[in-house]
Chains A and B, each alone.
Chain A
Amino acid sequence: MSSVVVNDATVYAGQPASRGDSRDAVARDVVVVDGVITDLRASDAPGDAHVIDANGLVLLPGFVDLHTHLREPGREDAETICSGSQAAAVGGYTAILAMANTTPVTDTAEAAERILDLGRACGLVDVQPIGAVTRGLAGEQLAELGLMQRSRARVKVFSDDGHCVDDSRVMRRALEYVRSFGGVISQHSQDAALAGSGACCHEGEISGRLGLPGWPAAAESVIIARDVQLARHTGGRVHVAHVSTAEGVEVIRWAKAQGIAVTAEVTPHHLALTTEALTAYDPVFKVNPPLRPSEDVEAVRAALRDGTIDAVATDHAPHARHDKEHAFVDAAFGMLGLETALAVVADVMLGDDFGWSDIARVMSTAPAAIAGLEQHGRPIAPGEPANLVLIDPAAQRTINAATSRSLSRNNPWHGMTFTGAVHTTILRGRVTATEGAPASC
Chain B
Amino acid sequence: MSAATAKSMPKHLLSVSDLDADLIRTLLDTAAQMQDVQRREVKKIPTLRGRTVINLFFEDSTRTRSSFEIAGKWMSADTINITGKGSSASKGESLRDTVRTIDAMGVDALVIRHSASGACHQVAGWIDAHVINAGDGTHEHPTQALLDAYTMQQRIGDLAGKHVVIVGDLTHSRVFRSNLLSLRMLGARITIVAPVTLMPSGIRSWAERDGFTVAHDLDAVLRDGDRVDALMMLRVQKERMTGGFFPTPREYTVGYGLTRPRLDRLTADHPGVVICHPGPMNRGLEISADAADSAESLILDQVSAGVAVRMSVLYHLLAGGDAERGEGGAA
Chain A interface (Cβ within 8 Å of chain B)?
203-212, 214, 216, 280-283, 322-323, 325-331
Also in contact, A209 and B121, with CB within 8 A (given A326-B94, A327-B114) = no
What chain A residues lie within 8 Å of B114 (beta carbons)? 327
One of B88, B95, B96, B202 near A204 (C-beta < 8 A): B202
Cβ A208 vs Cβ B200 within 8 A: yes
Cβ B174 vs Cβ A211 within 8 A: yes
B138 at the interface (CB under 8 A from A): yes
Number of interface residues, chain B, beta carbon within 8 A: 30
Also in contact, A327 and B206, with CB within 8 A (given A208-B201, A214-B201, A322-B94) = no
One of A206, A283, A330 near B88 (C-beta < 8 A): A330
What chain A residues lie within 8 Å of B87 (beta carbons)? 326-327, 330
What chain A residues lie within 8 Å of B117 (beta carbons)? 210-212, 281, 328-329
- The 4 A-B residue pairs with the shortest CB-CB distance in the complex, in nearest-first order: A205-B202, A281-B118, A327-B116, A208-B200
Cβ A326 vs Cβ B201 within 8 A: no
Distance of B15 from chain A, by nearest CB (Å): 10
Cβ A330 vs Cβ B118 within 8 A: no
What chain B residues lie within 8 Å of A330 (beta carbons)? 87-89, 95, 116
What chain B residues lie within 8 Å of A203 (beta carbons)? 201-202
Q: How many A-B residue pairs have CB under 8 A?
A: 90
Residues of chain B from 201 to 226 with CB closer than 8 A to chain A in the complex: 201-203, 205-206, 209
One of A210, A214, A280 near B139 (C-beta < 8 A): A210
One of B88, B96, B122, B206 near A328 (C-beta < 8 A): B122
What chain B residues lie within 8 Å of A209 (beta carbons)? 177, 200, 202, 206
B249 at the interface (CB under 8 A from A): no
The closest CB in chain A to the CB of B88 belongs to A326
Also in contact, A207 and B202, with CB within 8 A (given A325-B96, A326-B94, A330-B89) = yes
- Docked Cα-Cα span, A209 to B138, in Å, equals 9
B284 at the interface (CB under 8 A from A): no
Cβ A329 vs Cβ B116 within 8 A: yes
- Docked Cα-Cα span, A199 to B324, in Å, equals 45
- Docked Cα-Cα span, A208 to B206, in Å, equals 9
Distance of A363 from chain B, by nearest CB (Å): 34
Also in contact, A212 and B206, with CB within 8 A (given A326-B88, A326-B95) = no
Distance of A295 from chain B, by nearest CB (Å): 12
Distance of B181 from chain A, by nearest CB (Å): 10
B327 at the interface (CB under 8 A from A): no
Residues of chain B from 130 to 183 with CB closer than 8 A to chain A in the complex: 136-140, 171, 174, 177
Residues of chain B from 47 to 105 with CB closer than 8 A to chain A in the complex: 87-89, 94-97
B119 at the interface (CB under 8 A from A): yes
What chain B residues lie within 8 Å of A204 (beta carbons)? 201-202
Also in contact, A327 and B119, with CB within 8 A (given A203-B201, A206-B202, A211-B177) = yes
- Docked Cα-Cα span, A395 to B190, in Å, equals 53
- Docked Cα-Cα span, A208 to B89, in Å, equals 24
- Docked Cα-Cα span, A328 to B95, in Å, equals 10
Also in contact, A327 and B95, with CB within 8 A (given A205-B206, A281-B122) = yes
Cβ A211 vs Cβ B140 within 8 A: yes
Cβ A207 vs Cβ B201 within 8 A: yes
Cβ A327 vs Cβ B171 within 8 A: no
- Docked Cα-Cα span, A86 to B121, in Å, equals 35
- Docked Cα-Cα span, A325 to B174, in Å, equals 23
What chain A residues lie within 8 Å of B94 (beta carbons)? 322-323, 325-326
What chain B residues lie within 8 Å of A206 (beta carbons)? 202
Q: Among B89, B96, B118, B136, which residue has the most Cβ atoms of chain A within 10 A?
A: B118
Cβ B139 vs Cβ A326 within 8 A: no
What chain B residues lie within 8 Å of A329 (beta carbons)? 116-117, 137
Q: Among B96, B115, B116, B136, which residue has the most Cβ atoms of chain A within 10 A?
A: B116
Distance of B178 from chain A, by nearest CB (Å): 10
- Docked Cα-Cα span, A326 to B98, in Å, equals 10
Cβ A280 vs Cβ B202 within 8 A: no
Distance of B253 from chain A, by nearest CB (Å): 25
What chain B residues lie within 8 Å of A328 (beta carbons)? 116-119, 122
Cβ A322 vs Cβ B97 within 8 A: yes
Distance of B86 from chain A, by nearest CB (Å): 10
